[in-house]
Amino acid sequence: MPKPHSPLGAEIYDRELENVFHSWSAQGSLDPLVVTSAEGPYLIDADDNRYIDFSSQLVYTNLGHSHSAIVNAIQEQAAQLCTIAPAHASAPRSLAAEKILSHLPENLSKVFFTNGGADAVEHALRLAKLTTGRPKVLAAMRSYHGATQTTLTVSGDSRRWPIDDGRTGVVHFFGPFLHRTVFHAETEEQECERALEHLENVIAI
């Protein structure tokens, strides 16, 4: 992206490059978009250009940006109670758990709230290993699960290689992806069939 024309945007751009380390990026070639606001599906940059946010940031602003009902709810809750430690009870957390459970099978009766995505993956892996008694984890290539050491290892992204310590028990496999097939498939049916055969072989080995 070109450096913003507006003085404020240019200042933000320079200060960002000087002071902020960007994850998953080659620091010497950074050229970030300076976002100053957002509205609905749009990001607005320092020069008032609008961009459709197809990725919903990191796939979590899927209700759009700056929706008045969401903003009001955040403001009201922040004025009452911003956060609460796990040892205590609070109405918003209990209500959120009830709403989540209403969409889940009846045999799932508890919700465990974590601090973020990588935290959730770490806990899920531990619970799965404790429940099954099995140490091996199958992880898809072309995936990202977080930046903690375990979630980095199970991520199927080549950018992990310089820091991946090769933890035991993690086995990667290729899922179907006809656009960049590793199975030399020519149709969706071939891609799925060959991907399933590959996964079956990985499990058997």
Instruction: For the chain, give every domain's residue range.
Output: 1-80, 88-113, 117-204
Residues in the chain: 205
Judge whether residue 166 has pLDDT over 90. no
Burial class (CB in 10 A: 0-12, 13-18, 19+), 31: exposed
pLDDT score at 183: 97
Which has the closest alpha carbon to 174: 203, 197, 195? 195
Q: Read off the pLDDT of residues 76-125 as tens digits, 9 standing for 90 and up.
A: 999 999 999 999 999 999 999 999 999 999 999 999 999 899 999 999 99
d(CA 153, CA 31): 28
> Residues 151, 122: contact at Cβ < 8 Å?
yes
> Residues 41, 82: contact at Cβ < 8 Å?
no
CB-based contacts of 34: which residues, under 8 Å, 6+ apart?
Answer: 1, 4, 9, 12, 13, 16, 45, 46
Q: Under DSSP, is residue 57 helix (H, G, I), strand (E, B) or coil?
A: helix
Judge whether residue 165 has pLDDT over 90. no
Using the structure block, give the residue that is written with the tokens 């992204």.
157
Looking at per-residue pLDDT, the higher value among 80 and 167 belongs to 80
User: What's the rounded mean pLDDT across residues 44-73?
Assistant: 94
Which has the closest alpha carbon to 178: 194, 193, 196, 191? 191
pLDDT score at 174: 96
Judge whether residue 2 has pLDDT over 90. no
d(CA 151, CA 126): 12
Judge whether residue 65 has pLDDT over 90. yes
Per the rule left: phi > 0, alpha: psi between -120 and 50, beta: everything else, 66 is left
CATH code matching the domain that covers 1-80, chosen among 3.30.70.2170, 3.40.1160.10, 3.10.20.30, 3.90.1150.10: 3.90.1150.10
Using the structure block, give the residue that is written with the tokens 């969401």.
70
pLDDT score at 99: 97
- pLDDT interval class at 58 (50, 70, 90): confident
Looking at per-residue pLDDT, the higher value among 94 and 2 belongs to 94
The pTM of the full predicted model, rounded to 2 decimals, is 0.78
pLDDT score at 184: 97
